[in-house]
Amino acid sequence: MSTATPANLLEFDLDGLAAFCERLGEKRFRATQLFRWIHQRGADDFGQMSDLAKSLRGKLEGCATVRALPVVAQHMSQDGTIKWLFDVGAGDAVEAVFIPEDDRGTLCISSQAGCAVGCRFCSTGHQGFSRNLTTGEILAQLWFAEHFLRRHLGTAERVVSNVVMMGMGEPLQNYAALVPALRVMLDDHGYGLSRRRVTVSTSGVVPMIDRLAQDCPVALAVSLHAPGDALRDKLVPLNRKYPLDELMAACQRYLAHAPRDFITFEYCMLDGVNDQPEHARELIALVERHRTQGVWCKFNLIPFNPFPASGLKRSGAPQVAAFARLLADAGIVTTVRKTRGDDIDAACGQLAGDVKDRTRVAQRIALQRQVPLQPAGGLAAGG
Ligand code: SAH
Ligand code: SF4
């Protein structure tokens, strides 16, 4: 038996797994079988994989593993949203959030422990950057959630229908790990998700938007938050490197490859900062200036989720409605995001993965014991 650390098979897309199996002297179809066991059936024990030759199972036991992330805490919101906190070692933790709706199940996952972009209004940004997640750590969130939920609901059917890279971190600053993870999500032998139902959200890493268009085009959401460079420089510091006109041009280029014919712009509504009628008018002018086709973008207005130390306030509902109306009257499709899971700090921008604060983790674990998950079938109805 080898003394080297066993390879974690969650790290591989199908080509990577085929190359790994080839090194063991196995054919590609064996890799496909193994891949399906792992991702479609949630198996982590080679002994379970009954249609794999005994000799292969024996080889795998010596040099490979399917290693998920330890779950530090699990919370369920009144509205059915579930948040998991995963330990990624060295005091870091990341969060994933499952949001059940009538017609879909969306999983929001993290790409980094912390984030280096440092947006003013984001709790992850305030925490600073710790490290990139590996492909296996990104996928472990989906692997765990999908198979946990299937067991919990007593179903063999797929539960997660949509994935959004909107948890902690800037996915396009962890590009090398992101792309193989996306490929596994899309692979028919993996999770088989449609490109339209996998969304990468970015604060605007322009060169990587172009690369994603070539390597793995999926739905794109861009976190805009300001209609002009002066304000965006302050709210999203990455804007100093990639200003709005460059970002808009990259969005236009992306559209030629995207699975959807529009880009979603996210806009976090901050009281008195970016929510005034003049901001809406400037935004409309920005969209017009870059228009090359009829409808090319949609706006998603996000009510700001406050956290201690942000020093910012959520815009009032009338302010949000007035802003949405101005955009809509100019022919821009605009929605206001419903806040989900805010009673368990699972709403956008509240994900801080604060595993270093042991007291808080202990409280969370205690809470989890008091609020066990509902029996099968109770999920969509909410807690
Ligand atoms: N780094 C990527 C993806 C993660 S953030 C990005 O910035 O797009 C996911 C979304 O949550 C982004 O649109 C982000 O702007 C938004 N967000 C961050 N902090 C927030 C907060 N406190 N309230 C509401 N939305 C927030
Ligand atoms: Fe990073 Fe996105 Fe938060 Fe900005 S909003 S700090 S890019 S996670």
170 CB within 6 A, ligand 2: yes
Q: Which of 11, 26, 95, 266 is an active site residue?
A: 95
**Would residue 122 show up in a list of annotated catalytic residues for this protein?**
no
Atom of ligand 2 nearest to the CA of 126: 6
Residues 133-172 pLDDT 10s? 999 999 999 999 999 999 999 999 999 999 999 999 999 9
Is-contact 70 86, C-beta < 8 A? yes
**Which listed ligand is nearest to 239 at the C-alpha?**
2
64 three-state secondary structure: strand
**Which listed ligand is nearest to 300 at the C-alpha?**
1
227 CB within 6 A, ligand 2: no
Report which of residues 341 and 347 the model is more confident about: 341
Enumerate the β-bridge partners of residue 114.
129
Atom of ligand 1 nearest to the CA of 305: 23
Which amino acid residue places its CA nearest to atom 9 of ligand 1? 166
Residue 281: pLDDT band with limits 50, 70, 90 = very high
Interval between CA 115 and ligand 2 midpoint (Å): 6
Is-contact 177 132, C-beta < 8 A? yes
Report which of residues 83 and 381 the model is more confident about: 83
Strands 82-89 and 92-100: antiparallel
Q: What percent of the chain has pLDDT over 90?
A: 84
Among the ranges given (166-175, 219-228, 373-382), the one the predictor scored with the smallest mean pLDDT: 373-382
Give yes or no for residue 295 having a pLDDT over 70.
Answer: yes
Residue 293: pLDDT band with limits 50, 70, 90 = confident
For residue 217, the number of C-alpha atoms closer than 13 Å in the C-beta half-sphere is 15
Atom of ligand 1 nearest to the CA of 115: 1
**Would residue 348 show up in a list of annotated catalytic residues for this protein?**
yes
Does the fold of domain 71-359 match that of domain 7-65?
Answer: no
Give yes or no for residue 311 having a pLDDT over 70.
Answer: yes
**Which listed ligand is nearest to 118 at the C-alpha?**
2
Interval between CA 352 and ligand 2 midpoint (Å): 11
Residues in contact with 239: Cβ distance below 8 Å, sequence separation at least 6, in sequence order: 204, 226, 229, 232, 233, 247
Nearest to 170 by CA among 218, 235, 84, 236: 236
Architecture of the CATH domain 7-65: Orthogonal Bundle (1.10)
Report which of residues 275 and 2 the model is more confident about: 275
Tokens 């692997």, residue located: 143
Which amino acid residue places its CA nearest to atom 26 of ligand 1? 349
Residues 315-335 pLDDT 10s? 999 999 999 999 999 999 999
Give yes or no for residue 348 having a pLDDT over 90.
Answer: no
Mutate to test the pocket of ligand 2, among 95, 110, 111, 122 (most ligand atoms within 8 A of CB): 122
Tell me the mean pLDDT in the region 56-84.
95
Atom of ligand 2 nearest to the CA of 168: 8
169 CB within 6 A, ligand 2: yes
Interval between CA 203 and ligand 1 midpoint (Å): 8
Ligand 1: which residues within 6 Å by Cβ?
121-123, 166, 170, 201-203, 223, 266, 268, 302, 304-305, 348-349
What is the average pLDDT score of the chain? 90
Q: Which of 115, 119, 122, 348 is an active site residue?
A: 348
Enumerate the β-bridge partners of residue 25.
none
Which amino acid residue places its CA nearest to atom 21 of ligand 1? 349
Tell me the mean pLDDT in the region 288-309.
90
Nearest to 148 by CA among 227, 69, 92, 213: 69
Q: Which residue ranges make up each domain of the chain?
A: 7-65, 71-359
Enumerate the β-bridge partners of residue 99.
106
Interval between CA 194 and ligand 1 midpoint (Å): 23
What distance in Å separates the CA atoms of residue 350 and residue 95, rounded to the nearest whole number?
10
Q: What percent of the chain has pLDDT over 70?
A: 89
pLDDT at position 339 is 73
Question: What is the sign of the dihedral through the CA atoms of 200, 204, 210 and 215?
Answer: negative
Phi-psi region of 249 (alpha: psi -120 to 50; beta: other; left: phi over 0): alpha
pLDDT at position 365 is 33
What number does CATH give the domain 71-359?
3.20.20.70
Q: What is the residue-wise DSSP string for 322-360? A: HHHHHHHHTT-EEEEPPP-SGGGT-STT-----TT-HHH
Residue 346: pLDDT band with limits 50, 70, 90 = low
Tell me the mean pLDDT in the region 47-70.
95
Interval between CA 304 and ligand 1 midpoint (Å): 9
Label residue 210 exposed, middle or buried (CB < 10 Å: 0-12, 13-18, 19+). Answer: middle
Alpha-carbon distance values, 253 to 8, 22, 173, 206 (Å) = 36, 38, 19, 11
